[in-house]
Amino acid sequence: MEKNIVRVWPATHCPLTNRSDSEVIRSVDLSNFSFDREGFYWIYKFGAGEQLLIVTDELFNNSDIWTSKRREIEFLLHQGRWPKGVKMMDSNSLLALISSSNIPSSPIEKLKEVIYYFKSVSEFFGQTLYPKDNFHYKEHLVKKTGMSNPSELERIIYTCIELGYVKDEGSTKSTFPISLTLKGWEEAEKFETQKSSNISFIAMSFDPEMIQVYNDWIEPAIRESGFEPYIVLDQHPNSDVTINDAILAGIKKAKFTIADFTYHKSGVYFEAGYALGRGQKVIYTCRKDHIGTAHFDTRNYQHLVWKDGEDLKRKLMDKIEVFIKS
């Protein structure tokens, strides 16, 4: 029986920007790739870069997502977090990517993105930057830092000045010259350390049964995913360093935290909350026979519910791939 050919067509326009010019709508050879659903493709242009977008027919025509999630989608694209290569997205996978990407939403999170960006484009400490002239202010910088509009970015920059992270170098409002202060540079380095860390902090019960699960399944899952596990049990703190000090230091060093709520130890709730409060990504896990008694303050978070070590390892590696690496 002849196999049905699933076609992906050039879009008539970009549903995010509504552009339909030749830079956005142009032919791309996808003949060597197969798809399981029909869809559309187009080129998203930003700054000096571009991204091929391939989406299902259902997502292309889902105007609610393109409208209500516009800021989040733009952030993913301008941060380079949209899946690379020839990969088709549907509504469910896009919403999952948005929910798992730690997109800045609060003023503090957006402020950190701005400071980090200014450091990344500074060739030396004290360099005067001209955000409105040099960084595709409206077309790129606003979207890359997760802002809703240019006015919000301007307000965040003024807040950075008020807090001493950024120095106003004077001149006119139209050129908006600024430079990072030492305080701002230090804050950006803290944020950068967290972004570039390859450490995963593990919060869990130290019941002998769970230690075995850690040794046989959790640690291998983390290492095989390309990260280094940090568990206080392994650190053997010096006598002048308390266990709590070691825990907090570990969370601060980590890129993300894995919190397993099997046996519902109070320390795990504290450590997960501390990591979350620092703006860190937290992966919640719990063995199937314990999920029913999870505390109310974590029930709103999606848990990886596992039945055995092998199941936990597989789910952890899948979650790290989508939630942490994307």
Give the pLDDT band of residue 235 (cuts 50, 70, 90): very low
The 3-state DSSP class for residue 289 equals helix
The boundaries of the domain holding residue 47 are 8-99
| Together in a domain, 149 and 203 | no
| Together in a domain, 202 and 317 | yes
Which CATH number fits the domain that encloses residue 128?
A: 1.10.10.10
> Residue 175 carries which side chain, given as an amino acid letter?
T
Residue 127 backbone dihedrals phi, psi, to 5 degrees = -65, 135
Residue 271 lies in a domain: yes
CB-count exposure of residue 268 (10 Å: 0-12, 13-18, 19+): buried
pLDDT at 137: 73
Q: Tell me the pLDDT tens digit for each residue of 203-225.
A: 999 888 999 999 999 999 999 99
Domain count across the chain: 3
Separation between Cα atoms, residue 184 and residue 271, nearest integer Å? 27
Torsion sign, CA atoms 32, 33, 37, 40: negative
Of 194, 59, 185, whose CA–CA distance to 126 is shortest? 185
Output DSSP code: residue 129: B
Give the pLDDT band of residue 268 (cuts 50, 70, 90): very high
Average pLDDT of the residues of the chain: 86
Residue 3 lies in a domain: no
| Together in a domain, 318 and 203 | yes
Mean pLDDT of 120-135: 85
pLDDT at 172: 58
Q: Which two tokens stand for residue 164?
A: 């001493």
Confidence (pTM): 0.64
Q: Tell me the pLDDT tens digit for each residue of 153-172.
A: 999 999 999 999 999 987 65
Which CATH number fits the domain that encloses residue 251?
A: 3.40.50.450
Q: Flag whether pLDDT at 53 surpasses 50.
A: yes
Residue 245 lies in a domain: yes
Q: Which residue has tokens 């703006």?
A: 279
Residue 59 lies in a domain: yes
The 3-state DSSP class for residue 10 equals strand
